[in-house]
Structure 1
Amino acid sequence: MLHLHHSLRTALRRTARAGAALIAAAFVLASAGAIYEAAGNWIDARRFPQQGRSIQIGSLRLNLDCSGRGGITVILDSGMGGPALDWILVQPEVAKFTRVCSYDRAGYGWSDASPEPRTSRQIAGELKSLLDAAGEKGPFVMVGHSFGGYNVRVFAGRYPRDVAGMVLVDASHPDEGSRTDAVLSGAQLARQQQDERRDETWEQITEPLTIHLGIRRATVALGRKPSRHLSRRLQEEFLYLENMPKFMRTVRQEDAMFKISGVQAVAAGPLGERPLIVLTAGKPYEPDPLLTPQQIERQANIWIRELQVEEMRLSTRGEQIVVPDSTHDMPQDRPDAIVSAIHGVWTSVR
């Protein structure tokens, strides 16, 4: 019995030592990660200065980046998770024929995060205040990519005199989820929803730690696919902006309000006779591995031939242009198609 007690105490001591060693190792790794993150932020903040200028609207400072000259100004609104930098391949080309402004919505890039709900109505109001404070005069040609499509539609509904025309770039549709999910079986839909809930819960739990310890910086850097459209420096700048703690919080907040924003876009009503070009991506973005090729094709047809056509019909002067070699990331895949569409609408209203 004494031998057993001695052995147990020895085992406990060994376990304690091993545990202490693991804790020490974890502390060293955590410290190294925190130093890596702090150093990365310090370097990036100096490598990537603000593009644009900060404008005070109420308690917020929002970043507005305008260039070019012209009678009618073009306003660019990015998709969910997209800073003003999303338009880096589009804006310089538009600036060759007119004035054009991109901006960081609250919570992205060089703009402050906002305590207000991230609905399209709130965002449209902030954009209006930003343009007024900056002295930018309408009417504008509004351009919205993805979720930005909701925002510019709501903007047009709230401030009709400020909108001369519109370009929707593979823009979100309020019924996209229900209509494309209709091709899934019950089991597939349940699995998809389960995966989404698990991923969301895991992100909320781990995000503060992964950012502080530099884990997110490392995984995003390693996981980002090389782009044939963007230079290495631009890709690193995107990484810097996406690694800001406010970035993922804002993405989640916009996503949580996505359905409400869709309802607000519908309530904004049609555009009447104002010119509209709807650009539609012809290539699947990230096909769901749970789906069969037939289901993927059916979803693509619903998107291209139904949902996007319905958006074209928002205007009596609406036109749809399918861009066959572009994914949803059209601002990087085919910026020339966007520039051409903007020029077409701008020419018809100037």
Structure 2
Amino acid sequence: MKKWLKRIGLGVVAVVALTVLAGAGFEGLSRAAAARSFPAPGRLVDVGGGRRLQLDCRGTGSPVVIFESGLDTLGSLSWARVHGKVAESTRACAYSRAGIMWSDHANGPFDVRREVNDLHKALAAAGEKPPFVMVGHSLGGPYVLTYTGLYGGDVAGLVFVDASHPDQVARLRNAIGRDLDQGAGLIRAADSLAWSGAVRLFAPKGTIAPDHAPPQTALVAAAWQPQSIRATVRESNGLNETLTVAGQYRRLGDRPLVVLTRTATAPPAALKAMKLSPDQGRRLDAEWRAMQDDEAAWSTRSRHQVVADASHYIQFDQPKVVIAAVGDVVGLVRIDALAHER
């Protein structure tokens, strides 16, 4: 009997080992296929230390619009529905931060100033000249705010697309009575399994790309997502640092600023996933709107627009609104440049 139990145990171990090897092999082949089938749009720019960032610049004209994505694995694809249209009227660049999509991973502990410096180096190496109009979605808002604080002479205007607020952790905690569960545990679990092929096979559709993303964007994002999760975890772990540093640079002077804010509330399923009651959901939305109002007060020349029928990903749900907002800021920067020449 013991002999048979031992054989059964060895058989189970062998099956598990083969499954693990097969999954790892599948993931390795899939990553090679992604690199062949979906090469980086734009170019890979050396930012020092043997590292490269993917930078996709299109069009001509000044100021140059710089798109900064949020805390996700989309990178430059986050702007797929607006990038090309903006590039019809001025130079426009979208990029992927370290470790996201085609960009090389960063070394050492997370440092938001180094992340921002990566972008500064990439733009300089690529020959992109200021003035810049910085456009930040979600956590991209604090990134472009920090960029403005560190390289203020380069930044002539900004657009916040449902951007995170430096004080949001404490303010949302006060609004709902506890810290908001934003799925960090699930992201870390996915990172730990990315090598096995499980993420590629079983990731829910909504975790790859937003509902209104173009099909090709979703396809490319899915192909590269397992490689990008580690960088997302790294940025998530550095969230408090990112918000704290960005909070030092809220004074934007008279730079043109447009703040775009979602109207869509979280559906019941999302509230349930976050373990929030409908009343907590309403308080969460009200506090988010108040923080967006505060962001609009950071410049003496600002406009705050609440966008109808838009979720957190306004650039996918209502791309024309984002394109128009960018166009407004670009126009004001050009007027300022002409006035300065006179």
- Give me the TM-score of the superposition, normalised by structure 1: 0.87
Please name the residue that 1:333 is paired with.
317
Residues 255-274 of structure 1: CA deviation (Å, up to 9, x unaligned): 22211211211212411111
Question: Partners in 2 of 1:226 and 1:57 — Cα distance?
Answer: 28
State whether residues 293 and 304 of structure 2, in contact with CA within 8 Å, keep that contact through their aligned partners in structure 1: yes
1:103 alignment partner AA: Y
Residues 14-39 of structure 1: CA deviation (Å, up to 9, x unaligned): 21121122122213322332332233
Selected match of 1:29 from 8, 16, 19: 19
Q: Greater CA deviation, 225-234 or 139-148?
A: 225-234
Residues 177-223 of structure 1: CA deviation (Å, up to 9, x unaligned): 211222334xxx38x66x968657x62xx744x22321111012666
Q: Report deviation, 1:93.
A: 0.7
* SS across alignment from 1:39: helix
Matched, 1:41 2:31: yes
Flag structure 1 segments of 5+ consecutive residues without an equivalent: 1-9
State whether residues 116 and 122 of structure 1, in contact with CA within 8 Å, keep that contact through their aligned partners in structure 2: no
Please name the residue that 1:95 is paired with.
87
Q: Report deviation, 1:284.
A: 2.8
* SS across alignment from 1:342: helix
Selected match of 1:162 from 143, 146, 154: 154
State whether residues 68 and 94 of structure 2, in contact with CA within 8 Å, keep that contact through their aligned partners in structure 1: yes
Determine what percentage of the aligned residue pairs are the same residue: 34
Matched, 1:297 2:271: no
Please name the residue that 1:108 is paired with.
100
1:216 alignment partner AA: V
Question: Partners in 2 of 1:227 and 1:145 — Cα distance?
Answer: 13
Question: Partners in 1 of 2:123 and 2:332 — Cα distance?
Answer: 23
Q: Report deviation, 1:103.
A: 0.9
Tell me the C-alpha RMSD between the 2 structures: 2.2
Please name the residue that 1:262 is paired with.
243
Q: Greater CA deviation, 306-315 or 332-341?
A: 332-341
* SS across alignment from 1:182: helix
Counterparts of residues 56-205 of structure 1 (less than 5 Å): 56-59=46-49, 60-81=51-72, 82-185=74-177, 189=178, 199=186, 203=189
Q: Report deviation, 1:174.
A: 1.4
* SS across alignment from 1:141: strand
Q: Report deviation, 1:240.
A: 1.6
Question: Partners in 1 of 2:82 and 2:299 — Cα distance?
Answer: 24
Aligned residue pairs total: 328
Selected match of 1:243 from 223, 226, 246: 226
